[in-house]
Structure 1
Amino acid sequence: LLATDAFTLLIGCGWDETFSTALLQPIVREIPNIDAVLLSHGELSHLGALPYLVTKCGLTAPVFSTGPTRRMGEMFLRESVQAKLGSGDFDIITMADIEKTFTGHPWTQLRYMQQYRITEGKLAGV
């Protein structure tokens, strides 16, 4: 979490294969303050909690990542949730939560090393 006087940026929102919601409580407490999410990797340890934060905790901040990070992250999450479903009762996040997060949530895809200037909201000028 990068917080300044002007904005708060969540840099990654990883989770582990236990999907323990207790691990996310420090982030959940900050959700009302988060202005944007920046994702650097498409792995569970870097973006695994995103569907939970969006669909269960009310995260509305826009997400920024490269296209490959977004696509690989979605595939990785689908595989991880499918594995959890196959090993027993699991309802912390669903395939529908993943779909909503990766297709219905505000998301800006950037090219690798692309410079991008935000022009509206609290992050304007960043």
Structure 2
Amino acid sequence: MLAALLAVAQRTLPGIAPLLGVLLALALAGVACGVEALLKEGAAMDARGRMALCYTRALTRYDLLLLAKDCTISVFATPPAQLAGRCNLRVRTPSRKTLLVRSLPLPLAQTLAAAGCRGGTRPNTQREEV
């Protein structure tokens, strides 16, 4: 719609066309960010129990490794997303920062939520002396 308005403005009001061009560029940047978030956001857990998150906010992509031991993990989905097998993963850190990873596959999110956030605990490697 904004592109059509820009095309009409170039003919009728050429002075306002650059301003509409800037608005069109910002709108397209927001759409591109949303598409990238849909394709690139994800979460994983390594063998030590550390959770890695990749999420996008305000034209910026964040890759984060959680080392906190007491995070709260919740999985939620709308009914249409649940039918598609997708959900959102919400992680709340001890510093009260809430991280949202959108559009994860439902089985992956349930596995991560069940495993919890162990924060990179290591097995006991010290030897006991007898």
TM-score band w.r.t. shorter chain: under 0.3
- Could you state the TM-score of these two structures normalised by the residue count of structure 2? 0.27
**Which structure would you say has the larger RCO, counting Cα contacts within 8 Å and 6 or more residues apart?**
1
Higher fraction of strand = 2
Q: Compare CA radii of gyration and give the structure with the larger one.
A: 2
- Could you state the TM-score of these two structures normalised by the residue count of structure 1? 0.28
